[in-house]
Amino acid sequence: MGGGGGVIAPSDALSPSEWTEGPRSPKDSPYCDDQVEDLPPAMNRSDLHQLTEARVRESQALLAAGEAAGAYYVAGYAVECALKACIAKQTQQYDFPEKRLVNASHTHNLSELLGLAGLRPALDGADAGVRANWAIAKDWSEQSRYELRTLTEAQDLFDALSDPSDGVLTWLRRHW
């Protein structure tokens, strides 16, 4: 960084065109040193909706190819993205989100994300089929990337998510 010692040199200042657009990643900012780890780009609810649907398609393709472990792993990320879309819905445009919510949202734990989305009471009042499917989905973990799964396990998770009437994703789409 120009100027050294944390002092911002004139050449490092933002140009007027960057005032509204600005960098999408802290790493791109002239105010961050090169020690910042690579972070994912900023995401919004629409991005999370699209990622949910992409993960469903990917999981379905992996199932069709007989790749049970990958299908199981990717299916869980579909639920994670959907829950994070529900959390993102809580932040209104131009509002600054609560720090606790932001920090706590950086998890892969589906039960924690359900609570952060404020959906636990809605799940408690949901149809028995939705609750039964949640009981299957909630056990997913990002650690499943290190686990082998059977086709039956992967299909059970996929079905629990995608059932047209009682699927977890079907239910979450009503809340995002």
For residue 109, being part of any structural domain is answered with yes
For residue 137, being part of any structural domain is answered with yes
Can you give the pTM of this predicted structure? 0.74
For residue 8, being part of any structural domain is answered with no
3-state secondary structure of 25: coil
Question: Which residues, at least 6 apart from 127, have a Cβ–Cβ distance to it below 8 Å?
Answer: 166
Question: Which residues, at least 6 apart from 131, have a Cβ–Cβ distance to it below 8 Å?
Answer: 123, 124
For residue 6, being part of any structural domain is answered with no
Domain that holds residue 60: 45-173
Which string of DSSP letters, residue by residue, matches 109-128?
-HHHHHHHTT-HHHHHTS-H
CA distance 49 to 110: 16
Domain count, the chain: 1
CA distance 37 to 83: 25
For residue 146, being part of any structural domain is answered with yes
For residue 99, being part of any structural domain is answered with yes
Going by the DSSP 8-state scheme, the letter that residue 21 receives in this structure is: S
**pLDDT of res. 91:** 81
Q: What is the pLDDT along the chain (176 residues), one digit of tens a residue?
A: 444 444 444 444 444 444 444 444 444 444 444 444 455 667 889 999 999 999 999 999 999 999 999 999 999 999 999 999 999 998 877 666 777 777 778 889 999 999 999 999 999 999 999 999 999 999 999 999 999 999 999 999 999 999 999 999 999 999 99
For residue 112, being part of any structural domain is answered with yes
The CATH number of residue 70's host domain is 1.20.120
For residue 38, being part of any structural domain is answered with no
